[in-house]
Structure 1
Amino acid sequence: MGTVTPLSPTLRAAPLQTGFDRHELTRILDLYGRMVAAGKWRDYAMDFQREVAIFSAFRRTSERPEYRIEKRPALRSRQGMWSLVSEGGAILKRGDELSNVLAPVERKLMKLVAG
């Protein structure tokens, strides 16, 4: 019989990219669709890297994104893996739950629809 050598945890392959699961992407695209219907957003982009997945929402294609929704799983145990980043790069909201992070944009949408 041969000898079985267990692999150490450091030899495991790191994920090649971070992404959104179906539920998260559905939640984000639902908000995007409502903002498009309100005339606020016109374009979006997604970026998937090793440590972060980013959804960017644009007023116009040629501008910087009005909001970025970032998922960083490495921050799950610290500040929360979700963050909402403004056009200027300031973090507006951070947390563990996607719905809590999207709340400021949802409130803005309610003001647009009501007003």
Structure 2
Amino acid sequence: MTGDRPMAIGREAADLVFLEVHRYKNRFFVSVHKDSTVSDVKNMLNSVIDAEGKRMELFRQYGSHEKHSKLNDKSALTTCGFQPDNATPDRPAVVVLTFNDEDPLHVINKHRP
């Protein structure tokens, strides 16, 4: 991870980005430094999700949840549009987690009422 920051204290806390990762019925809440990459987020998720042998992809949702954009592993979260002022603890940015060739729309809609 960028700078190996296990926690943010004081001013560093203002540089955090908060993500809500959706995968079917599961929700994972992740807080990372704004300079972290998509790959850093995947590594965090990989430590709590059994994804062995599966290709993990993250997608950003747009509009009415019908449009998704695949996030590049090497991109910084700020490059993807996630900023400390638009991905906050009370309004985290939503991303969709898929494995292999899953459709992100299917992953978020399969268990909706």
TM-score bracket, normalised by the shorter chain, equals under 0.3
- TM, length-normalised to structure 1: 0.24
Query: Which has the higher Rg, Structure 1 or Structure 2?
Result: 1
Judging by fraction of residues, say which structure has more helix.
1
- TM, length-normalised to structure 2: 0.24
Judging by fraction of residues, say which structure has more strand.
2
